[in-house]
A and B are shown apart, each in its own frame.
Chain A
Amino acid sequence: MKKLINHVDNIVDEMLDGMTAAHPNRLRRLEGTTVLVRKDAPVTGKVGIVSGGGSGHEPAHAGYVGPGMLDGAVAGEVFTSPTPDQVFEAIKAVNGGKGVLLVIKNYTGDVMNFEMAAELAEAEGIQVRQVVVNDDVAVEDSSFTSGRRGIAGTVLVHKIAGAKAAEGAALDDVHAVAESVIKNVKSMGMSLSPCTVPAAGKPGFTLGEKEMEIGTGIHGEPGVERTDIKPAAETAEILFHKVFQEMNMQAGDEAAVIINGLGSTPLMELYVFHHAIDRLLKDKDIRVEEAVVGEWMTSLEMAGVSFTMLKLDDTLKKLLDAPSDTVSWKRG
């Protein structure tokens, strides 16, 4: 394991302090916690939005804290959901009197810990609502299981719910628009190499020199199948078709698209990949104003990419284009 770190036990702590040191006018760390909030939190008269999860997915989520997106981000240990007390601190710090929306990625740990935090907050009279993002179509949906994972599509929930909250909307309305994003966003990923959780010291899985894994999750959870390495264009087709078939889209529809690098895949390759996606979009006559290509929700140093598509309507599009001013997502 070769990492630019000091002690494995201090990574999250030093990362959080490194972030506030780099962005002192934007971010503030709640003392004694792993929570970063907007410098000016709480914003009175605005619904607060809190997201978070295990660390190792940077810039998710603190990179999205700021005007027009999140009010607070809670960091767990690497790939480990943060604990209820930390989430509770975030809720208290961003509550501007209009209640708080929790944006949770659908992992058992995240759901349980955020749920317990919501219980604590409600016991103190803070209005809390939750949404659970489950955009990853790699895993079959089933009412018998805990369902699909939340991956890069989550960033679009932050953006759009954040824009709605910035308008001064009520908690129920912010919640509703977040649910509408979740209903319309689907993603799927693949990987060429695994990643190593620092404290584990060894890769989470192994892939042969000529193998790739289709449907990998952002913690290296396995996906649909392991195959021989395929060209980027063919890989794009597999991800695109799987995502597309789960969406209710017609020719002429408009979509937002994220090409998300999982960690060590160069931007060069992400654009090569998008070149193939662009053709598939044109084939289906799906309009995309500007694709979002880069690293938005990573998996440490994993090599791979995920493809996210959100079907837009006028409301979602307006909110997506609304201004935001965070470290990693600036618009308008």
Chain B
Amino acid sequence: MTSLILRTMVRLLLPLLLLFSVFLLLRGHNEPGGGFVGGLMAATGFALFSIAFGSSTARRILQIDPLVLIGVGLLLALSSGLMTLLLEQPFLTGVWYKLSLGALGKLELGTPLFFDIGVYLTVWGVTLTIIFALEEVG
């Protein structure tokens, strides 16, 4: 399992996959992609890494306990809905702000985006939790 080639490849692949996962997450609202796919992609990166280097190394690189990642993700998704409840709107009503970025055009930021980030983190955390746990029983 722990062949040199795999290790080297994974070491290169991990940052790439992470970057790609963020890209998928961010473009998801307008093109195929989104929090799920992004989260899965990020997790796949770490899964490969942990197969190559062992789960303890992967955990060390990750720094944060994947269980907490789940909690944070859920909390983020939840609070994007809660915000609107405070604004006297039904739960999960989308609220949008337009940011002007000068020459770059304008960026639309909305609560659904936060929601999607929450999804991303949860999916990531869950997948990692499962993979680490399965690996560590062996």
A, B assembled together? no
